[in-house]
Structure 1
Amino acid sequence: MIGNKFKKYILALIAMSGIAFSSCEDLLEQTSPDTLTTDNYWRTPDDVRRFAVAVYDQLSYFTWKFGEVEFVCENLRGDDLVAAPGATQYGYLGRVVNFTNNDEWSPRNIWYKNYNMIHLSNQALANMGRVSGLSDADKAKFEAEFRFLKAYAHFDIWKNFHGVIIRDEVVSNGEQIDKALATEAEIDEYFVREFTAAANGLPAKWDDNNYGRATSGAAWAYLGKFHLYRKQWAEATAAFAKVTGYGLEDNFRSLFNGTNEQNKESIFVSKFSIDANTSQHSNLGLALVPGEKNGWNLVRVSEFATNSYEANDIRKDASVLLDGGTLEGETVDFDDENMRMLAKYVESMDIVNTGKSGTDYILMRYADVLLMNAEALNEQNQTGPALAALNQVRSRAGLGNFSGAQAEIRTEIKKQRMLELLGEGHRFYDLVRWGNPKQALSVEGGHPGAVNFEEGKHNYFPIPAVEYDENNLVDPTPKF
């Protein structure tokens, strides 16, 4: 994490690396010698380290608005969570969760954030060679790190929007803005190349002072996830087999209350902190608390998801707070006896007084890898290894081993993904890749926006208007 003084420095750096095409040469000719530019920044190894921090900071870019930007877009379109009045009362959120959206502010900011990460990564890769004193070993690690972050950002765009423009070099003039959406072949080639290169160049683990930096395990996990989304089952299992050195934490709740952040299960996280010197806290905990407890009242766990937990599943109490339930040792009574509050990422009910959440948001963890690997193995009819991976997750949850044929295993994997990863931003994307989002939203989840959901249209967000306004090779998304 970085302090406010350095944040101002980084903001200047981002502005310096930004895309401004009008009178570019004239402006550069008038630059003051004490102004931050690409010519005077890249001098020492510390400059590279600081720039890497700036790129990582894009993961937690929204800070105070995290709950209403990323969390709503990722989580409130599935059948596991539903929008509460705190979300639907705002048109730009209500339209997203009810599938009546066009080019809305929240998803548009996900597009911006990721392309900013891509642009900064490209800046670093283009300029690191000018730094003196950077060892070959450190340069190789940084290169792998920036390539991973750039690939991660492209992946986040690809899974969220009706297309992705692969920006693999610095965009420095207006002509370079014009670039078409990538073809399927180009997408396959890009993610395999970049995640593999990153995995081969990154360490398996960093020391505690560098916790949160990308590892080879993260790169292999995301490569496997990409193959899973593409239904390339053998390639997925090959990548997941290389995610080693991780395990399942015994205390499931500790993954989400800020007490056990440097743990053996988290593979890649978006870091937050309530340190007054960082301004890197989020509003997520506050956003999840109901209005009657002075929270923002954005989210409820669906009745379908709540009732899907078995009676002895330890994940239920750690994930869902019901009326009269206990959170961090405190009994919580709600006026609404049917309350189903998402308990993950709410460190305590005192969050309504502090207004700040410092718990890291997990982007990839080992339980997810186990379930993805189980799915890929099962689709290859390797039911034995698939059950072994699946039952590791069930065992940690306090459940007995599952057994069955391929179709039954497939159904159980889908169920366990919802229960294990509840509220972690995976369910809607799973429904889309399984090919049945409207049915799941209508029949199982009782999603109020299901009536508006149109297959092929609402599976993804439309490409923001600003992109096709400025990029002559991208057209408006059909049906929007």
Structure 2
Amino acid sequence: MMLAASCRTKLDVQPSHLVPEQKMWTTKNDARSAVFSAYALLRSALADKNAWLVYGELRAGDFTSVSRGDLSAVTANQLTASFPALENWSNWRPFYAVIYQANLCLEKLETVHKNDFRYTEEEMKVDLAHVRFLRSLAYFYLVRIWGDVPLVTRAVSGEFVPLERAPQARVLDMAAADAQAAAQALPWKYDQQSPELRSQYWGQPSAFWQGVIAGKGSAYMLLAHIAAWRGDYLSTDKFARLVIDNRSKGGYALVNTTTLTGNGGVFTGQAEDIVFAMPFNKNYQESSASGHIEEWVLAEPFISKAQPDIFISNDSILRIFDEPNDERFKVTDGGAGVGNYFTGFGNPVPLFSKIRLLSVTGANPLRSYQSAIVVFRYEELLLLRAEALLYLGKTGESAQVLNSVRGQRGIGEYKGPLAGLANAILQERRRELLGEGWRWFDLVRFEKLEQYSRFSPADLANGAQFWPISKSQLSSASPIQQNKYWQQ
């Protein structure tokens, strides 16, 4: 966040906002507040104006805007159009707020340990691992969204000089180092059975924390994704296997389609397949209007709204769900749509209803939702490993892993040629993860943007796959330069 303004600007976000610096970092509760502030800042960065969905899904071509100009600009990849929301989404400041808070914790948690004997070394090491995971994840988002980004490893206060952008490779090196350190220090579960943490974490039982804070599995899964983004599929397979082979320790399992699309299932953030999610639990007054795909894709009969803001056309639905017996969605011989992924198939504007966790029942005039932002889940990990095995030349094993997900959704084994396995994996990711913020990043990683977007090879060489940088970060005093493609 400190990099978004001129060299004489003060920080906008004070992580210890209401507590004077000299009185902070003295008690165990200060440590808890600081660590969970970093989690809150990440959730805010992803939820604000549905940023997680905009970055990961809307540019990929599956969704169409009904009438909103800002969303139409995103789906058309016209990211420099004059809309306030586009300026907001172009601003990397929220992710740097996470990084600043993580850096502050890395520098100050030791002070709490020295000042308060109740804050044990064991607890401190786990908390340090949490903020390393969050810093790594924030940088991973930054690199995938903007490419080269400033690398900030220290907390600053007051006045500062903004930094130049660092190469992606260098940023990912640090993100991988952070995630590796987190993986070593975090437990698989918060059940007081792991050697990393024998005490009860902040006075809550294991079930309270399952999936909603980082554990060893989420750190290894992040490492697998960082490696895949770099094309290091040997490391992707290694880290994915660490999670898969220890799934009983982490409590991970495939879920059936009913759990995937049910109101009490995956998108509560605490189903068996959840490795890491950002919850919005109404029982803790966390439900909200923003940060949820339901805000844009639902209408009558779910909420009192005539039309959704975005939808997937009938033709696109048929292209995506092109195999019979798919429990997520299929079309009967009579032309009727069956499955919870869509409501009103055949209408001019069908509803994408895979995720529909309203905070109240009935018409819900408040339009408040409680679906979690699911960052990592077990089915996605299996599909990532199938991808890694494919590119390592292990096509038989790749197909076997792919089939484990396909079988769970009722479509059986892949019967096509091995030469088509890459497309089969990409298509299964498209179906399984639809609406979860993966599609654009998948197209980048599989090098399929030319096929699914208007971008040419020259455009991609100039960085069209990345977002433009916010105008507020391009002041005359800043060394930050606009991404080359968006200078046009």
Identify whether the pair has TM-score above 0.5, normalized to the shorter chain. Answer: yes
Please list the CA deviations of residues 57-93 of structure 1 after superposition, one character each: whole Å capped at 9, or x if unmatched.
Answer: 12331698544x43233211113x222224xx23x33
**Structure 2 CA distance, aligned partners of 1:23 and 1:233?**
42
Q: What is the CA distance between 1:378 and its match in structure 2?
A: 0.9
1:342 is aligned to 2:349 = no
For the residues of structure 1 that align with 2:445 and 2:214, how far apart are their CA atoms? 26
Pick one of 120, 135, 149 that aligns with 2:120: 135
Report if the CA contact (8 A) 2:88-2:470 is conserved: no
State the alpha-carbon separation in 1 of the partners of residues 46 and 239 from structure 2.
32
Shift in Å at residue 407 of structure 1? 2.3
User: Which residue of 63, 67, 71 maps to 2:53?
Assistant: 71
- Deviation for aligned residue 1:158: 0.6
TM-score by structure 1 length?
A: 0.81
- CA offsets per residue over residues 126-155 of structure 1, 9 Å max, x none? 111111221111010000000000110111
Three-state SS of the structure 2 residue aligned to 1:479 is: helix
Q: Aligned pair 1:189/2:170, yes or no?
A: no
Q: Distance in 2 between matches of 1:21 and 1:74?
A: 31
Instruction: Compute the displacement of 1:256 (Å).
Output: 4.7
**Structure 2 CA distance for partners of 1:73 and 1:295, relative to 1, 3 Å:** farther
Cα distance in 2 for residues equivalent to 1:409 and 1:94: 33
After superposition, give the CA deviation of every residue in 1:32-57 in whole Å (9 maximum; x if it has no partner): xx962222111111111122222111
Q: Which residue of 2 aligns with 1:473?
A: 479
> 2: CA distance between counterparts of 1:351 and 1:118?
40
The correspondence of residues 79-478 of structure 1 with structure 2, limited to 5 A, is 79=61, 81-86=62-67, 89-90=68-69, 92-102=70-80, 104-109=86-91, 111-131=92-112, 132-133=116-117, 134-172=119-157, 174-175=159-160, 177-206=161-190, 207-211=206-210, 212-243=212-243, 244-245=246-247, 246-260=251-265, 261=268, 262-275=270-283, 277-278=285-286, 280=288, 282=290, 283-290=292-299, 294=305, 297-302=308-313, 303-309=315-321, 310-316=323-329, 337-347=347-357, 350=362, 352-403=364-415, 406-441=418-453, 454-455=459-460, 456-469=462-475, 472-478=478-484
**Equivalent residue letter for 1:209:** F
Cα pair 2:287 2:370 within 8 Å, conserved: no
Q: TM-score, normalised by structure 2?
A: 0.80
Look up the equivalent residue of 1:228 and give its one-letter code: A
Q: Distance in 2 between matches of 1:23 and 1:337?
A: 52
CA distance in 1, matches of 2:425, 2:467: 27
Residue 352 (structure 1) shift: 4.6
Question: CA separation in 2, counterparts of 1:117 and 1:248?
Answer: 30
Q: Name structure 1 gaps, 5 residues minimum.
A: 1-13, 25-33, 443-449
- Indicate the residue corresponding to 1:8 in structure 2: none
SS at 1:77's partner residue? helix
* Partner-residue secondary structure (3-state), 2:60: coil
C-alpha distance 352-441 of structure 1, shift in aligned 2 (>3 A): farther
Structure 1 pair 232/189, CA: closer, same or farther in 2 (3 Å)? Answer: same
Deviation of the 1:215 alpha carbon: 0.9
Query: Residues 204 and 216 of structure 1 are in contact (CA less than 8 Å); yes or no, is this contact kept in structure 2?
Result: yes
Distance 1:434 1:65 in 2: 28
Q: Secondary structure at the match of 2:77?
A: coil
| 1:78/1:304 CA distance change after superposition, 3 Å | same
Alpha carbons of 1:136 and 1:407: their partners in 2 closer, same or farther (altered >3 Å)? same
How many angstroms apart in 2 are the aligned matches of 1:462 and 1:50? 34
Percent of residue pairs bearing the same amino acid type: 21
**Unaligned ranges ≥5, structure 2:** 11-16, 191-205
**1:195-232 deviation digits (Å, cap 9, x = unpaired):** 11111111112312223011111111111111111111
How many residues are matched? 435
Indicate if the aligned counterparts of 1:288 and 1:346 stay in contact, CA closer than 8 A.
Answer: no
Aligned mates of 1:116, 1:65 — CA distance in 2: 13
SS in 1 for 2:375: strand
Give the structure 2 partner of residue 447 of structure 1: none
